[in-house]
Structure 1
Amino acid sequence: MKNELRIALVQSPIIWEQPTSNRKYFSSKIASIKGKVDLIVLPEMFTTGFTMTPENLDVKEGDVTVEWMQDIAKEKNAAIVGSIIYSENGAYFNRLFFVNPNGEVRHYNKRHTFTLAGENEKYQAGNKHLILDYMGFKINLMICYDLRFPVWSRNTVDYDVLLYVANWPKPRIEAWDTLLKARAIENMSYCIGVNRVGKDEKGLEYVGHSAVYDALGKQLVFSEEEEILEVTLSKAHLVETRKKLRFLEDRDQFNLE
């Protein structure tokens, strides 16, 4: 079991509906990471911004971006994760991809589509979790609006890390801060949230607040600026915390059907 997981959180602006330009931008940002990291995290819809006009994009763009992620993962010898618009069988998905350094690809379709913006009318919702093992850490992967629904992230399988990628706007940023911390505490896990900065074509402003919390809700990193945040998670610290404070053993016993 690896005892540490080194993570880079890329908090960035996103160019509206310009996948090629965004891939070029993120290539440059990731190249600036000088030290060794194990996992690189990008925001939600990092090649387009949170657009409700997926039909404006070439349907091949999803596969192009996945291939780009594979190239980055191999080059940096690190896994990379983020969500993009993906077209499959005539439907659009807000799909998170987790790409290993060896090129293996896993994905998660956003469970809770954001009805306030009409995401439910444009993108098909998922219905399956993606909880995977990576370098000795069990990671539960989520997207943005999923953060508001604690039952969906409930820790019934003793995962170690809960990770959210997002486009979460400034008017509701206090909810983002509060819920990230709450998800960490209630699930006795690390909780990571990676948000964007800047303004989109709809005039919405994003102020980042990407952060990492430990199992007791202590904030390990935080930023409101365009930058790459680096943090190291300790499996030994998490195990020791859970051993000392056995809160998960007292969780309510129920299952979702």
Structure 2
Amino acid sequence: MKIALYQMHVIPGKPEENIQKIDQWFDQLDEDIDIAVLPEMWNTSYRLKDLNELADNDGEVILPFLQKKAKALKKHIVAGSIAYKKDQEIYNRAIVINKEGSCINTYDKAHLVPMLNEHHYLTSGEKKPTVYKLDEVDMGTIICYDLRFPELSRSLALEDAKVIFVPAQWPKSRIDHWKALLRARAIENQVYVIACNSVGLCDENEFGGNSLVYGPDGTLMDNLYYEEDTLIVEIDFEKQEQIREAIPIFNSLRTDLY
């Protein structure tokens, strides 16, 4: 399976311009890409005070755009997350569109970042992320700060997820945490962790790039640095099965103790 990640410089507060950027990026992808991956909050960035005006109302702009693109390009889109408005509430919502153009999964970010006062502007999701299938492979998505709560990733692994996507706008100042936590989630769950961060500035916040992919044994397969760029990786599920057979951690779980 071949996957492309867009380490994007999101233009703060400019949803239309960000849609244009992504539209152009989609059209530049090679035909053999199976899944295209976007970062967190790519329609607005962290203009939290303006989200009531900027958020996509019930997905009426972005969902049709993504569905049309996925169907035309015959590619799955793990569409990061967007500022999504529903019944006067604003969510940080992850979206997955399959290559037939169907929205097959959504997830609202459960853990809101207290350092950014996200809880003043966003509504926390009330449901845990769930596994979805792309090309018959079980996968899941968590969002940025969710990475600091290992129980969430483990819940996906226990549903037999083979891949966990992590769209983010993770700060450059804590990029060492980003890399360490992603690797830990990969090793402890024996999954591919595919992390798509953004770059650039949103007011005083600088995002740290370093989009990357860790294999199910914690091997760094490839990564980017601090510029807008595309990362392309191929993942091998037969190798993953070999790793899980060699160290059968899920057979050793003590559900009677924890």
Specify the TM-score bucket, using the shorter chain as the normaliser: over 0.9
What's the C-alpha RMSD, in Å, of the aligned pairs? 1.7
CA distance in 2, matches of 1:64, 1:254: 48
> Which residue matches 2:192?
190
* 1:36 CA drift (Å): 1.4
User: Are the counterparts in 2 of residues 44 and 50 from structure 1 also a CA contact under 8 Å?
Assistant: no
> Which residue matches 1:142?
142
Could you tell me the percent identity over the aligned residues? 31
Which of 51, 54, 78 lines up with 1:57 in the alignment? 54
Q: In structure 1, give the amino acid aligned to 2:88.
A: G
Q: In structure 2, give the amino acid aligned to 1:172.
A: R
User: Are the counterparts in 1 of residues 57 and 86 from structure 2 also a CA contact under 8 Å?
Assistant: no
CA distance in 1, matches of 2:56, 2:167: 22
The structure-2 alpha-carbon separation of the partners of 1:58 and 1:206, relative to structure 1 and needing over 3 Å to count, comes to closer
The structure-2 alpha-carbon separation of the partners of 1:255 and 1:143, relative to structure 1 and needing over 3 Å to count, comes to farther
Which of 74, 77, 82 lines up with 1:80 in the alignment? 77
For residues 1-257 of structure 1, the aligned pairs below 5 Å read: 5-53=1-49, 54-57=51-54, 59-60=56-57, 62-81=59-78, 82-105=80-103, 106-126=105-125, 127-154=127-154, 155-200=157-202, 202-224=203-225, 225-253=227-255
Aligned residue for 1:62, secondary structure, equals: coil
Residue correspondences, number? 251
Aligned residue for 1:26, secondary structure, equals: helix
User: Are the counterparts in 2 of residues 183 and 191 from structure 1 also a CA contact under 8 Å?
Assistant: yes
Aligned residue for 1:151, secondary structure, equals: helix
Segments of structure 1 that go 5 or more residues without pairing to the other structure are none
CA distance in 1, matches of 2:108, 2:18: 21
Segments of structure 2 that go 5 or more residues without pairing to the other structure are none
Once the two structures are superposed, what CA deviation does each residue of 1:139-190 show, in whole Å capped at 9, x if it has no partner?
A: 1111000000001111222210111000001001100000000000000111
* 1:240 CA drift (Å): 1.5
User: Are the counterparts in 2 of residues 188 and 248 from structure 1 also a CA contact under 8 Å?
Assistant: no
User: Are the counterparts in 1 of residues 9 and 200 from structure 2 also a CA contact under 8 Å?
Assistant: yes
Q: In structure 2, give the amino acid aligned to 1:140.
A: G
Tell me the TM-score normalised to structure 2 length: 0.92
* 1:219 CA drift (Å): 0.5
Aligned residue for 1:193, secondary structure, equals: strand
